[in-house]
Structure 1
Amino acid sequence: MNTITIRLSVMMFLQFFIWGGWFVTLGTFLGGTLGASGGEIGMAFSTQSWGAIIAPFIIGLIADRFFNAERILGILHLVGAVLMYLMYQSGDFASFYPYVLGYMIAYMPTLALVNSVSFGQMKDPTKEFGKIRVWGTIGWIVAGLVISYVFSWDSQQAIADGMLRNTFMLCAIASAALGVYSFTLPATPPASKGQEASGLGELLGLDALSLLKDKNFLVFFLSSVLICIPLAFYYQNANPFLTEIGVENATGKMTLGQVSEVLFMLALPVFLNRFGIKLTLMLGMAAWVLRYALFALGDADGGVMLLIVGIALHGICYDFFFVSGQIYTNAKATEQCKSAAQGLITLATYGVGMLVGFWVAGQVTDAYVTDAGHDWAPIWYFPAGFALAVLVIFVLLFKGEKVEAND
């Protein structure tokens, strides 16, 4: 491993350590420490979607045209460190929300910036990027293990004592470190310096709308938006659910999902080439149905293995639908609009789809509040049924295609 690879791997590790260090336990913190309602928790999680919607403007209008990517990355993480510290100090949801909104607007563009910095140093990204990106997943895993097994901030007693807010201090320190570190990274000049600014349509991927004339792609596109509603339930409710029902070291156990993600990522190209895109996407959606059914049936005693299996399904849930969907989008798009097509699908899913999903998850969660906490079974049956409906519609309307993926 050469010096550049090590430096980029450290960057990627910190990038996702920061995200995994607070986002997984956000719902638990808001409900258990700040006393937020399901609707308010949904508002907090939806800041990710607002960040995803605003990110193309920051990348397309600023980072791609005027400043080096590593400098923008450093500035955004330093700003993020301040906002994260203010989140740590917040005593109620009203004061917390503006900071988390500002933070996600600052953080979401950095996901593209770390890729830009990485690609700018590579001769063959198809062979080199995976070895660096995997350190991001490792960073997410380490964050969860540290929270659960080193500090035990997610235990019921620690949550009652307000210790979970320390995750924000931890991530503020990591964000400040990455902010400073970013200025030492190799120079990555703006890709479009000197070119006239693109129209909003190009920045948002709207020039890829012609792809929707293809019936198969239209079915896939709408399914992608709709399946983000069940996806939002996992991000918003999984950690509060596991913690509330008494699963020990819930955050650490949830890192099994990221381990699964790495393993199934390796299997995905083989599966796509052998069985085709339709079966791969179907399996991804079916895994969401099964995962939520297992969550509805499981408990912290005799049914804990059902919960573990549900967590471990994350690799199939995410890789076989969202990653294979990115591959499918790339295959369907022309050379002139490949980037625009990816921008469009990202905006539709992480932007619009999950924005709606977090709102729905908040409303459903609030509908099943009990004196003891929540009646979790119907909360999980809702996204299971929704994912099943999307799966049925997809099976009936999507025609099989062969999409190759290099492994």
Structure 2
Amino acid sequence: MNTKLQLNLLNFLQFFIWGCWLITIGSYLFQLGWSPSQFGYIYATIGISAIGFPAFFGYLTDRYFSLMKVYRTLHLTAALLMLFLPSILNPTLFFLVLLLYMIAYMASIPMLVSFCYSKLNEENYNVKSIYPKIRVWGSIGFILALWLVSLSGNETSVYQFYLSSLASLVLFVVTFFISEAPRIKPKSPFSFQKAFGLHIFQAITNKEVYYFFGFAFFFGIALIVSNGYTNPFLHDIKTTISNPEAILVKYPAIVVSVSQIAEVFFILLMPFVLKRLSIPIIVLLSFIAWTIKFLLLSLVSPENSLFLVLMSCVFYGMAFNFFLIAGSIYLDENTVKEYRGSMQGFFVMVVNGFGALFGSFTSGLLIDSFFTTNATKDWPAIWLFFAVLLFLIVVLYFLLLWNKKHKK
């Protein structure tokens, strides 16, 4: 199996695992009768697991261990923990087990990104043109998982977790047939600061990266809100749709999967975009797309529901890939070679860690406190609130770009 096929398969399985439950877990927990605040705490495991742990494992693979062996072990651990999750009905225990699972899974994401870059550079591929075509298989895996869960009627059942566990075991086996990537062993001695990613700012070769990380935090908030609440929102509004055979009623997760189908399109578009637009402009377009997505959801009604939801999914694909793909390449180009693995881990920490953690806690509390009456959520107001928030980020980012251009 050649290098590109190996990387395609790894990305496919990596995100198939997550696609089995990431979008539908909210609907599963709400049908158990848990509140938005409880869901917010549980979904915050994504954020907690991304703080420190990806950077720590990235540092270990940069310095001491074979990346593929650590990656393999993380997925075996994740498979076993996910297998245990369906039997838990206590919110606190569910939170703890999912947290352990997410520590293992979240650490594997930047590890795979770093592995892809290393293998492509080793064989002298153009990373900007080849990596997006490899990463698209992750989106395909995510989409297929969502469709399997939805078409089998398991959006609110425990079988989504069993499917995810099985996929992790398959990935564990596959890694034994994947060739190792070259490792550049750092010359500097061990440092506790470096082990947890706190050294990463010393590895940055372009000071403008600091601004990038600031906006990555807000990107993480938008991402966690979108992934956490879109499917429960569709399960709520489907009760207002008169046609019981409507696709939005029968298969809401399939409708949500249009977001990942849009991801595929925008991933394939990325080589074209990267050649013609600067990273700052691509990031600005990402936040504009987030604003439009949330605004469209705030306008959804029984008469126009399917069209507006589908359009919001398209803008999700744009927002997601314009930022993450361009951002990971940007960081790879602006980091000294020996710490590229750690830098990708820190990127995940900011987006899926600090941003997601803050977004999970605050969104759950806000929705419970200001947008819920007698267990009924005011979805138009919820989505409009986040649309306004992201619009303010667009204005702030635009002003920073304008100021930078004016100084030049």
Q: TM-score range by the shorter chain?
A: 0.7 to 0.9
Does the CA contact (< 8 Å) of 1:205 and 1:343 recur in 2?
Answer: no
CA contact (8 A) 2:133 2:268 kept: no
* Distance in structure 2 (CA, Å) of the matches to 1:277 and 1:129: 16
Q: Secondary structure of 2:50's partner?
A: helix
Tell me the equivalent position of 1:393. 396
| Secondary structure of 2:158 counterpart | helix
Letter in 2 for 1:184: F
Q: Is the contact between residue 232 and residue 357 of structure 1 (CA under 8 Å) also seen in structure 2?
A: yes
Aligned residue identity for 2:58: I
The equivalent position to 2:373 in structure 1, one of 364, 370, 387, is: 370
**Number of matched pairs:** 389
Q: CA deviation at 1:102?
A: 0.3
How far apart, in 2, do the equivalents of 1:319 and 1:140 lie?
A: 14
Please state how far the C-alpha of 1:278 moved relative to its aligned partner: 4.1
State which of 105, 108, 112 in structure 2 corresponds to 1:107. 105
For the structure 1 residues 233 and 91, does the alpha-carbon distance in structure 2 shift closer, same or farther, using more than 3 Å as the test? same
Q: Compute the displacement of 1:265 (Å).
A: 2.5
Task: Say which of 218, 222, 225 aligns to 1:226.
Answer: 218
Structure 1: tracts of 5 or more residues without a match: 403-407
Question: Is the alpha carbon distance of 1:258 and 1:213 closer, same or farther for their aligned partners in structure 2, counting shifts above 3 Å?
Answer: closer
Residue matched to 1:405: none
Equivalent position of 1:19 in the other structure: 18
Q: Check whether the contact 2:6–2:178 (CA below 8 A) recurs between aligned residues.
A: yes
Answering whether residue 161 of structure 2 is matched by residue 133 of structure 1, we say no
Coordinate RMSD, CA, aligned:
3.0
Q: 1:175 aligns with which of 168, 172, 185?
A: 168
* Counterpart position of 1:255: 257
Q: Distance in 2 between matches of 1:308 and 1:145?
A: 16
In structure 2, relative to structure 1, the CA distance for the partners of 1:271 and 1:113 (3 Å cut) is: closer
Q: For 1:391, what is the secondary structure of its paired residue? A: helix
Report the counterpart of residue 88 of structure 1 in structure 2.
86
Which deviates the most, 382-391 or 109-118? Answer: 109-118
2:192 and 2:340 map into 1 onto residues whose CA distance is 17
Evaluate the alpha carbon distance shift between residue 180 and residue 350 of structure 1 in structure 2; reply closer, same or farther with a 3 A threshold: same
5 Å matches for 1:328-343? 328-330=330-332, 342-343=344-345
- CA offsets 1:84-139 (integer angstroms, 9 cap, x no match): 01111112312211110000011112113334554555413425544433222111
* Cα 1:13–1:204 shift into 2, 3 Å: same
Cα distance in 2 for partners of 1:78, 1:213 equals: 37
Compute the displacement of 1:237 (Å). Answer: 0.7
Out of 33, 49, 52, which is 1:51 matched to?
49
* Aligned residues of 1:69 and 1:116 also touching (Cα < 8 A): no
Deviations 1:280-308 (A, max 9, x none): 33222111111111111113543321111
Q: Percent identity?
A: 28
User: Which position in structure 2 is the counterpart of 1:245?
Assistant: 237
Q: How does 1:225-304 map to 2 (within 5 A)?
A: 225-246=217-238, 247-248=248-249, 249-304=251-306
User: How far apart in 1 are the matches of 2:62 and 2:361?
Assistant: 32
With a CA cutoff of 8 Å and minimum separation of 6, indicate the structure with the bigger relative contact order.
Answer: 2
Q: How far apart in 2 are the matches of 1:178 and 1:340?
A: 23
Q: CA deviation at 1:144?
A: 0.7
C-alpha distance in structure 2 between counterparts of 1:139 and 1:375, whole Å: 33
| Code of the aligned partner of 1:25 | T
Structure-2 residue corresponding to 1:28: 27
What letter matches 1:141 in structure 2?
I
What one-letter code is carried by the residue in structure 2 that aligns with 1:315? G
Q: Which of these residues, 199, 206, 211, is aligned with residue 199 of structure 2? A: 206
Check 1:142–1:300 CA distance in 2 against 1; reply closer, same or farther (3 A cut): farther
Label 1:333 to 1:195 Cα distance change in 2 as closer, same or farther (>3 A): closer
Deviation at 1:209, TM superposition (A): 5.9
Give 5+ residue unaligned stretches, structure 2: 239-247
- Closer, same or farther: CA 113–213 of 1 in aligned 2, 3 Å: closer
Q: 1:335 to 1:116 in 2, by over 3 A?
A: closer
Equivalent residue, structure 2, for 1:361: 363
Q: 1:295 to 1:171 in 2, by over 3 A?
A: same
Which residue is equivalent to 1:381?
A: 384
TM-score computed with the length of structure 1 as normaliser? 0.85
Q: Which amino acid aligns with 2:102?
A: M
How far apart are the structure 2 equivalents of 1:238 and 1:130? 26
Correspondence for 1:153: 154
Q: Which amino acid aligns with 2:158?
A: R
1:24 and 1:239 in contact (8 A); partners too = yes
Given that residues 220 and 398 in structure 1 are in contact (C-alpha distance below 8 angstroms), is that contact kept between their aligned partners in structure 2? no
For residue 241 of structure 2, what is the aligned residue in structure 1? none
User: Which of the residues 177, 184, 187 maps onto 2:177?
Assistant: 184
